[in-house]
């Protein structure tokens, strides 16, 4: 069985059965993507649903030979959280709030457990919040989401060389931040 990262694509993404199989195959990856970024289980459920709804809407344009399904899905996922923070349009907030009642106790507990398990990833994300967005995005996709630099380049629609430069700059900047934190801690301890 091929891993979701290296498959060639679901055969019938535009059919209910094909999309259902696609959903089952990728739900864990999307939940991981979301729970590394948000700590609220209701928001995580809403964002996960929004990501798959957006994927369903874009399914007709998916080209399996162009990029792996997980890369395509993560590219969609990167647009959903930022859109979810914008002011609601056309009753979108009411729709999101009504979705909160759809989580039963077991679903809520499972999401809270997953969010807890991703706490370290979110703390790392907070630590590197000082990085500019392009550097953060490259670092998150490669280090946190475990995409290859080539896959990250596809998600971000940049060249591989650009990703390598962004990763280098992000790591160098994080080293400088860690160094200044260490120096500040040393000053306090003296």
**Which of these ranges, 1-5, 31-35, 36-40, 126-130, has the smallest mean pLDDT?**
1-5
Per-residue pLDDT of 39-57, as tens digits, reads 888 888 889 989 999 998 8
* Overall domain count for the chain: 2
Whether residue 123 lies inside any domain: the answer is: no
Q: Do 47 and 86 sit in the same domain of this protein? A: yes
Average pLDDT of the chain to the nearest whole number: 75
pLDDT > 50? residue 85: no
Q: Do 61 and 138 sit in the same domain of this protein? A: no
> Average pLDDT in the 144-151 region?
90
**How confident is the model at residue 156, as a pLDDT?**
94
Q: Do 109 and 162 sit in the same domain of this protein? A: no
- Which residues neighbour 148 within 8 Å (Cβ) at sequence distance 6 or greater? 142
**How confident is the model at residue 148, as a pLDDT?**
94
Instruction: Please give the residue range of the domain that contains residue 158.
Output: 128-190
Pick 146 or 182 by higher pLDDT: 146
pLDDT > 50? residue 174: yes
Q: DSSP string covering 123-187, please?
A: HHHHHTTTS-HHHHHHHIIIIIS---HHHHHHHHT--HHHHHHHHHHHHHHHHHHHHHHHHHHHH
Q: Do 89 and 148 sit in the same domain of this protein? A: no
> Average pLDDT in the 164-185 region?
68
Q: Do 7 and 39 sit in the same domain of this protein? A: yes
Conformational region of residue 102, where left means phi above 0, alpha means psi within -120 to 50, and beta covers everything else: alpha
pLDDT > 80? residue 24: yes
pLDDT > 80? residue 176: no
CA–CA separation, 139 and 164 (whole Å)? 10
Q: Scanning the structure block, which residue is given the tokens 């369903």?
A: 56
Q: Do 24 and 103 sit in the same domain of this protein? A: yes
Q: Do 54 and 136 sit in the same domain of this protein? A: no
Pick 114 or 39 by higher pLDDT: 39
Q: Do 107 and 61 sit in the same domain of this protein? A: yes
149: domain CATH number?
Answer: 1.10.10.10
> Average pLDDT in the 142-160 region?
92
pLDDT > 50? residue 123: yes
| Distances from the Cα of 58 to the Cα of 72, 76, 77, 85, angstroms | 10, 9, 12, 21
pLDDT > 90? residue 15: no
Residues belonging to the chain: 190
């Amino acid at each position: 069985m091929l891993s979701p990262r290296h498959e060639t694509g679901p055969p019938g993404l535009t059919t209910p059965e094909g999309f259902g199989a696609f959903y089952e195959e990728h739900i864990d990856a999307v939940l991981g993507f979301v729970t590394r970024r948000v700590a609220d289980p209701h928001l995580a459920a809403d964002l996960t649903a929004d990501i798959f709804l957006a994927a369903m809407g874009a399914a007709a344009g998916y080209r399996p030979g162009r990029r792996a399904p997980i890369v395509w899905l993560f590219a969609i996922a990167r647009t959903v959280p930022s859109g979810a923070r914008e002011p609601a349009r056309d009753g979108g907030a009411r729709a999101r709030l009504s979705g909160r009642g759809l989580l039963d106790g077991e679903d809520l507990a499972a999401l809270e457990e997953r969010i807890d398990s991703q706490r370290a990833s979110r703390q790392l994300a907070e630590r590197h919040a000082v990085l500019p967005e392009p550097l953060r995005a490259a670092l998150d996709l490669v280090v946190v989401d475990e995409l290859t630099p080539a896959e990250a380049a596809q998600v971000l629609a940049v060249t591989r060389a650009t990703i390598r430069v962004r990763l280098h700059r992000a790591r160098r900047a994080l080293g400088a931040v860690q160094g200044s934190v260490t120096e500040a801690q040393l000053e306090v301890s003296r």
